[in-house]
Amino acid sequence: MQSWHFIDGRWRAGNPAVVGPNSHALWLGSCVFDGARAFEGVAPDLDLHCQRVIASARAMGLDPQLSAGELLDIGLEGIARFAKETPLYIRPMFWAEAGFVIPDPASTRFCFSLIETPMPQPKSCAVMLSSFRRPHPKSAPTDAKAACLYPNAARALKEAMDKGFDNAVVLDGNGNVAELATANLWLAKDGVAVTPAANGTFLNGITRQRVARLLRGAGIEVEERRVTWEELLAADELFSSGNYGKVLPITRIDGRDLQPGPVYTRARQLYWDFAHGRL
């Protein structure tokens, strides 16, 4: 896959080495990133992803030294390096080079990566309940999109795949539904769209927020509240929202099969219409 990376003021192709064994990010985990998408000639909410990575950097004690507008300009310049409509995963990153346990903000470095990555198709997806939990805000930097949070998500995802599922439903420390291992989670019941209320244990996803606004604007009731595993098992529909695949159906939970329903179908179409400026 073709990729371009803006590092130290210039564009570099491939997979260039940017950290060494003494880099704080490598051995003490100070890296933050954000994920955006370009597809079909559009890059929806890229500005919001640029804003969030700066907020993540500051939450981790880094000093980003760039504005969201400057990041956006770099991202658009990078997109222009690819053929039109190439599907891209867009990843601005900040990390510390120095510091012992505490990252040294003066050593903050930056890379803006764009990688050719196909969009997932809205096909079958089976989920199960994970034995792992999302961390409490007092026990992990859950207010940042921090790389150090993802090994826990990987454990949940591997557990599910080892058992023949595609993804995992992860609970918070109180036993309520938080999200999937890799995306925010939605259910539909009697025509109402429901998603777990953002409670600090998981990121209030940019695509999640966008889908909620789009559904409400289309006259569909949206509830953001406490959700239980039992509610998922009894739902009429399940679907996910996230940057990587945007809006995707869930077609099996444990041993129960589901079909993509009208709320999911409307959410996906609304998102594509928004992304292409048709709303």
Domains assigned to the chain: 3-116 (3.30.470.10), 126-275 (3.20.10.10)
Mean pLDDT of 9-34: 97
Specify the pLDDT at position 17: 94
The tens digit of pLDDT for each residue in 24-57 reads 999 999 999 999 999 999 999 999 999 999 999 9
**Structural contact between residues 264 and 247, judged by C-beta atoms closer than 8 angstroms:** yes
| Cβ-proximal residues to 127 (8 Å cutoff; 6+ apart), any chain | 160, 165, 166, 167, 168, 169, 180, 238, 250, 252, 253
Please name the residues in contact with 107: beta carbons below 8 A apart, sequence gap of 6 or more: 24, 96, 97, 98, 99
Q: What is the pLDDT of residues 149-203, one digit of tens each?
A: 999 999 999 999 999 999 999 999 999 999 999 999 999 999 999 999 999 999 9
Q: What's the one-letter identity of residue 104?
A: D
Q: Please give the mean pLDDT across all residues of the chain.
A: 97
- 119-138 pLDDT per residue, tens: 999 999 999 999 999 999 99
At residue 1, does pLDDT exceed 90? Answer: no
Rg (CA), the chain: 19
